[in-house]
Structure 1
Amino acid sequence: MKFKFDWFMKGMVIAVLIAFLWPEPGARGGWLHPELLNKLGIAIVFYLNGLALSIAAMHDGLKRWRAHLLIQGATFLIFPLLGLALIWLCGGFVPGDLQTGFFYLCALPSTVSSSVALTVAARGNVPVAVFNATLSSLIGVILTPMWVALILGHSGQSFEVWPVIVDLLEWLVLPLVAGLCSRPLLAAWASRHKKRLQIVDRLTILMLVYTSFADSVKEGIWSNYGPLVLVETVLGSALFFALVFWIIRLIAKALKMPMEEEIAVVFCGSKKTLASGVPMAHLIFGANPALGLILMPIMIYHPLQLAIGGVLAQRWAERGKTQG
């Protein structure tokens, strides 16, 4: 499975460029009315996520409890602890909003589609990947904002938890549940139109990326930073991936997991979701004008994890042939 710079990633670059060149429509008060448009977009993304989640498909992976603990522990404990360590070690060198972005990256749930796709390509344990990728999305609705509230509270920044929770319930959880409840009626239709629904989902996320950066540009946030911010983001994202990948493999080997299970653990435990991360950031950080900068780490980490994951999947898929 080779990495491809697909239309969605090209779209992210274009959305950011348009935001820098023409920010007014997507900024607060613009004619696109982003205050309403963003929330409707979030509801669409999570309704489609709920429609795509198959609880029945998780059943086969239930018994692999060691893999579940390692994946969820890596996603919601090891990653955030590494984020805290980065803030402690590099606080004086990394801008505050970028620190928040790195920690937000660390607090996000795993991906669903790419974790499973890479596990399939690498001939890993697919039921474990399906179970944990789905479970991670559900857990992240609760744990991600709790981690963010903790770190922002300790840094002295104001963060009102209850309004965020209400927003998450209204615009994220309810559409997700509605999507799950719709599956008995619409699952077959959604399966037939999977590619079209994915396009709607991705275009909605690109719209959210545009409004995030448009607001940042209009507020003059980027005038305070030079190219060094991009370099720091790339290096930080690569460092996080390398550390988590090494830690997960070390633990998996210490537990003597079968290679198929280890593959699922590595792919699910090292992934972070852009698809849920962008809309969730709009609810958690609200009208923060630095939202574009906060989203930079996950936007860099997303193609990075796919590129490295594609190479690893191809390598691991060949293991039987090289051994035989």
Structure 2
Amino acid sequence: MKLFRVLDPFTLTLIVTVLLASFFPAQGGFVGFFEGLTTAAIALLFFMHGAKLSREAIIAGSSHWRLHLWVMCSTFVLFPVLGVLFAWWAPVNVSPEIYTGFLYLCILPATVQSAIAFTSLAGGNVAAAVCAASASSLLGIFLSPLLVGMVMHVHGASGSLQQVGSIMLQLLVPFVAGHLSRPWIGDWVARHKKWIGKTDQTSILLVIYTAFSEAVRHGIWHKVGLGSLLFIVVVSLVLLAIVISINIFVARRLGFNKVDEITIVFCGSKKSLANGIPMANILFPVATVGMMVLPLMIFHQLQLMICAVLARRYQKETQVAAKAATDNT
């Protein structure tokens, strides 16, 4: 009972969502339904962010080059270095494909929608998050196959214009449409901030359910033994903890404020399942794809759950700081 007192309602809802996807994953016609619903929720999220952000905030976010540079370094330098070191070390006798899967995970670009949603939920710099996460995803379509070829000695993939178009259509177009609608709906959005916040949480829950359902449909619980599964979970948690800790340390060391620190943490610590699985189908033999993406699927679920809890903690900190500033004025 004490556990349920400690966990907030959103975290409990998140756990229930994971259990629901594990026992009742979306199947058949419901797969397309939930994928469409998730896409619509994400589009609405970006539309609202576009309507909520002023032109000045967007310009400031896009010009925040120091923040963007570190997010790119965290995604395409820090992660790959850790992946190479871990694959070289290979401390436990498990399938070599698991180590290769972790290396592949570390090469991938960051997520977009969940990074921005968590940044917004935590009270971070959403404008900078939109720019950093979107740039990471777009660059990753071209950089990740190059890194795979260099580090894993696999060739034959290149950036897909269809993937670029999909990212632009799902994320950038709603954001621009929302921002262009700001003169007409900006005041309404400002009056309903609490309701707008629910779109962040809803999109996160939908991403978790659809992603975990996909993992279950791929037979995630039957591909490896309990020992190997536990190994993947532990390594994923350690990897995530290392990257988040380094991001927090660098953000504070370089003098970023709290809202920018939040953005760096959530944009620089994630890996994209949506980009990773299609890319794996191109880069690797079909027979090995399932095992190759298993670390990615587990890491993806864990990063969502851990970052959801972390976002709520940041949210409380920013609310306390805002209240203290108000009381002092």
Give the structure 2 partner of residue 31 of structure 1.
29
Give the structure 2 partner of residue 51 of structure 1.
48
Cα distance in 1 for partners of 2:210, 2:61 equals: 40
More deviation, 264-273/49-58: 264-273
Give the structure 1 partner of residue 267 of structure 2.
272
Per-residue CA distance 1:257-309 (angstroms, 9 max, x = gap): 5xxx54444333223389xx79x643663488646335135225414643774
Cα distance in 2 for partners of 1:217, 1:78 equals: 29
Cα distance in 2 for partners of 1:76, 1:318 equals: 33
8 Å CA contact 2:46, 2:178 repeated in 1: yes
1:231 aligns with 2:221: no
Per-residue CA distance 1:147-197 (angstroms, 9 max, x = gap): 444444543277562232232233333233333333233222333333334
Per-residue CA distance 1:128-163 (angstroms, 9 max, x = gap): x46533432453452343444444454327756223
1:161 aligns with 2:176: no
Q: Alpha carbon RMSD of aligned pairs, Å?
A: 4.1
8 Å CA contact 2:119, 2:262 repeated in 1: yes
Per-residue CA distance 1:85-140 (angstroms, 9 max, x = gap): 11111126454444444444x734695576577678xxxxxxxx465334324534
1:41 aligns with 2:38: yes
The verdict on how the C-alpha distance between 1:218 and 1:41 changes in structure 2, with shifts beyond 3 A counting, is closer
Residue 87 of structure 2, aligned match among 87, 91, 99: 91
1:245 aligns with 2:248: yes
Cα distance in 2 for partners of 1:71, 1:196 equals: 29
Cα distance in 1 for partners of 2:32, 2:206 equals: 12
SS in 2 for 1:221: coil
Give the structure 2 partner of residue 125 of structure 1.
none
Q: TM (normalized to structure 1)?
A: 0.69
More deviation, 284-293/155-164: 284-293
- 1:312 Cα deviation from its structure 2 partner: 7.5
- 1:311 Cα deviation from its structure 2 partner: 8.8
Cα distance in 1 for partners of 2:15, 2:24 equals: 14
1:61-210 matches, within 5 Å, as 61=60, 68-91=64-87, 93=90, 95-104=99-108, 107-108=110-111, 111-112=115-116, 115=119, 129=125, 131-154=127-150, 155=152, 156=154, 159=157, 161-162=159-160, 163-210=162-209
Give the structure 1 partner of residue 297 of structure 2.
292
Cα distance in 2 for partners of 1:95, 1:89 equals: 10
Q: Specify every segment of 5 or more residues in structure 1 that has no aligned partner in the other structure, as ranges.
A: 121-128
SS in 2 for 1:133: helix
Q: Pick 1 or 2: higher relative contact order, CA cutoff 8 A, min separation 6.
A: 1
Aligned residues: 289
8 Å CA contact 1:245, 1:266 repeated in 2: yes
- 1:222 Cα deviation from its structure 2 partner: 2.9
8 Å CA contact 1:164, 1:284 repeated in 2: no
Q: TM (normalized to structure 2)?
A: 0.68
